[in-house]
Structure 1
Amino acid sequence: MFTGIVEELGEIVAIEHLGDASRFQVRGPVVTEGAKHGDSIAVNGVCLTVVDLIEDAEGTRFSADVMAETLDRSSLGALDVGSRVNLERPMALGGRLGGHIVQGHVDGTGAIVDRKLSEHWEIMKISLPAELSRYVVEKGSITVDGISLTVVDAGFDYFTVSLIPTTLALTTLGVKQAGDPVNLEVDVLAKYVERLMGRDNGPQGNGSQVDALRNNALRNNGLRNNGLLDNGTQDKEATA
């Protein structure tokens, strides 16, 4: 289990294609300290297993095999030699949960839509696959390229996050541009809640209680922002 607190910006130093898989060599002296064969390291939010550790004059790097399915479902397939990546070791037993519970299992990919600079932070808009939208809510948690972030605003096909200078300086989001892909992992607790509520398993999820609640919340939020719904009316609908 990870927390979404990036420990180090690593670098892809080699990629070896092995038919239906690829072997990545990643330089990361911080996350490889004390590491051994079989350990897990999250690379841009994807949990990978260390298969080899190599020492050289520039520091320690590790190798990890990435299956074709992982390359297809994540943005790792778009990486090249020289690409910077977010690295994190699993949380130690008894350690502090600085972000939120992150499994390292990517649910899908989005893309940077827009970046807006403010005086002390930056607002980033990211596209969202439709099948993941029901798990993303305002003030909820989401993992973007392995970074635990708080959702500022959520729509049906996008969400926004606010990035402080520290996040921009210490992660890959500081250099991402519009159109660049990012790995997304939604909050696993939302998935458990959905299952416990007996969500309909139809292909579009039609008729699920979770979808109905989310759709109603988004509709009310839009009406309220346009002055067509006051808080009292919203509260009555929510408790009806």
Structure 2
Amino acid sequence: MFTGIIESVGTVTDKAFLASGLRICIDTGLATELRDGESIAVNGVCLTAVAIGQGRFEADVSPETVRVTSLAGLDAGSTVNLERALAANGRFGGHVVQGHVDDVGTVTEITSEVDFWRIKVRCPEELLPYIVHKGAIAVDGISLTVAKVEQGEFDVQIVPFTWQHTNLDSRSSGDQVNLECDIIGKYVGRILGCSSLDKDV
């Protein structure tokens, strides 16, 4: 489990397509604190770290994860948000993030508002029931608060610290981002028999 509080921004150094799925290699200072087999969220996707060494790690991405996330679009030089799994005695600073992406959204607008930024994201229709005003959503693994929801899009406002310590400063209109809705809302939808999500990874 994760909290959406990004620990580091890594850089993709290599991506190799396998017979099915792919393997990515990421440079990061967090590599010294990882062990083979540990979970790490990469742009909000829970992956397993392997082949750790010399300031980098590798991770395999399954065909299903390739299908429903934006990871296949990463190239050498792409920056990615990284968060290790929450320790049992760790501080819970964001919200419950599983690393199971619901779908991919598209950035439609980034607006500077003096010291802050507002990002507008178009999302698939089936996610809209789970995106609520002032509710939580993970965007590329970042725990954010929904500022507005309207006409198939939602807005989030970004504070300076988040802008400077995530990969959001490299985003532009048209970019794809991984979206994970609040798990509590998804459970309620399932219990009430009105869930519109059936392809979580």
1:25 aligns with 2:20: no
TM (norm. structure 2) is: 0.94
Shift of 1:29: 1.4
Which amino acid in structure 1 is aligned with residue 27 of structure 2?
R
**Residue 33 of structure 1: SS of its match in structure 2?**
helix
Cα 1:96–1:200 change in 2 (3 A) is closer
In 1, the alpha carbon distance for the partners of 2:21 and 2:111 equals 37
Query: 2:162 — aligned with what?
Result: 167
Question: Shift of the alpha carbon at 1:34?
Answer: 2.8
- Residues paired across the two proteins, number: 198
Choose the corresponding residue for 1:82, options 73, 77, 84: 77
Unaligned runs of 5+ in 2: none
CA distance in 2, matches of 1:33, 1:168: 25
Question: 1:133 and 2:132 equivalent?
Answer: no
Moved over 2 A (4+): 195-201
Is 1:191 the equivalent of 2:199? no
Q: Does 1:70 align with 2:69?
A: no
In the other structure, the counterpart of 1:46 is: 45
Aligned-partner Cα distance in 2 for 1:15–1:54: 17
Contact between 1:128 and 1:156, CA under 8 Å: does it hold in 2? no
**Percent of pairs identical after alignment?**
44
* Structure with higher RCO (Cα < 8 A, 6+ apart): 2
Higher relative helix content: 1
Is 1:167–1:174's contact at 8 Å kept on the other side of the alignment?
no
CA 1:19 to 1:163, structure 2 compared with 1: closer, same or farther past 3 Å? Answer: same
Residue 68 (structure 1) shift:
1.9
Tell whether the 8 Å contact from 2:40 to 2:82 is kept in structure 1 after alignment. Answer: yes
Q: CA-to-partner distance for each residue in 1:7-62, whole Å, 9 max, x for gaps? A: 001000111221112111111112x233111100100000000121122xxxx100
Cα distance in 2 for residues equivalent to 1:196 and 1:18 = 38
Pairing 1:93-112 to 2, within 5 Å after superposition: 93-112=88-107
Computing the radius of gyration from Cα coordinates, the structure with the larger value is 1
Q: 2:139 aligns with which of 128, 144, 154?
A: 144
Shift in Å, 1:155? 2.1
Tell me how far apart the structure 2 counterparts of residues 102 and 116 of structure 1 sit (CA, whole Å). 26
1:177 equivalent in alignment to 2:176: no
| Residue 156 (structure 1) shift | 4.3
Name the SS of the counterpart of 2:90 in structure 1.
Answer: coil
**How big is the alpha-carbon RMSD for the aligned residues of Structure 1 and Structure 2?**
1.6
> Do the aligned partners of residues 130 and 20 (structure 1) sit closer, same or farther apart at CA in structure 2, a change above 3 Å counting?
same
Residue type at the aligned position of 1:106: V
Using the size of structure 1 for normalisation, the TM-score is 0.79
